[in-house]
Amino acid sequence: MKQNHRLIMGKNCISEVLRNSPERIEKVFTVKTNSNDSLYKELQKNRVPIKHVGKHDLSELVDSTSHQSYIAAVKSRNLLNIHDFLESVSEKEQCFVLMLDSIFDPHNFGAILRTAECFGVDCVVYSKNRGADLTPVVSKVSSGASELTPLMKVSNLAESAKLFQDEGFAVISADVGDDSHSIYDFNYPEKTLLILGSEGEGVQKLLRKRSDYIVKIPMQGNIDSLNVSQAASVFLFAYRCQNK
């Protein structure tokens, strides 16, 4: 596969790309030969090249059996540049950006991207080194959100957070502690950069120290925390309730 191409998998993911950016799909690999399959028919309708392969070969392409019989080679998507993005939103009254710190599990990464797309997040920032990258598994779990959500990949999360602050964004870390505000009582600033950290270690100390606010979701059961992708849904829902 060419360097400017990558693989995505899953029927929902490929369907979303086909609906929103069909020109990005270079070729689809499938075991399907039945034109009664809805996705197969849509691919034919859009004249997407289809290559029929065996099930084993299909799984080897992505090192996964969760492909739902469909894998697509797509043109690599454009990622946002931090300076260009900040300039583009400088006149906006409201803007919500999600920053991911040390989210290494591709299933969590994909689920967060799906949540971010559903709630209309303006951008998701993630690290080149401290977390998962875009993979076929991420594309499948995200149900195509990995291809639709505005994304920014940066070398240094702390330096990037400072650039957002310099442009009027409030940096908020989702974490517990004596200095944490309950999500029930917290009002998001109009321009917010929300940082989500790993379930094990939370937001790294340097980012937490830079934050303007620390916000938590109070737990009422015996389990003391949510999965990070579940927590993302709660935080984003709270933001949208405040900014309908």
Q: Give the global pTM.
A: 0.92
Nearest alpha-carbon partner for 227 in 107, 97, 98: 107
What digits encode the pLDDT tens for the residues 221-235? 877 778 999 999 999
Locus of tokens 């859009």: 46
pLDDT for position 3: 52
Question: Residue 86 burial by CB count (10 A; 0-12/13-18/19+): exposed, middle or buried?
Answer: buried
What digits encode the pLDDT tens for the residues 160-219? 999 999 999 999 999 988 888 999 999 999 999 999 998 777 899 999 999 999 999 988
Q: Which residues contact 184 (CB under 8 A, 6 or more apart)?
A: 218
Gap between the terminal Cα atoms of the chain = 43
> CA separation (Å) from 18 to 35, 47, 137?
17, 11, 18
Calpha distance 207→125 (Å, rounded):
13
pLDDT for position 179: 86
Q: Please, are residues 125 and 160 in contact by the beta-carbon 8 Å criterion? A: yes
Angle between helical axes of 38-45 and 11-20 (0-180°, round to 10): 30
Q: Please, are residues 163 and 93 in contact by the beta-carbon 8 Å criterion? A: no
Angle between helical axes of 228-242 and 106-118 (0-180°, round to 10): 10
What digits encode the pLDDT tens for the residues 123-160? 999 999 989 999 999 999 999 999 999 999 999 999 99
Q: Which residues contact 135 (CB under 8 A, 6 or more apart)?
A: 106
Q: Which residues contact 52 (CB under 8 A, 6 or more apart)?
A: 29, 30, 31, 32, 33
Domains and CATH numbers, the chain: 5-75 (3.30.1330.30), 82-242 (3.40.1280.10)
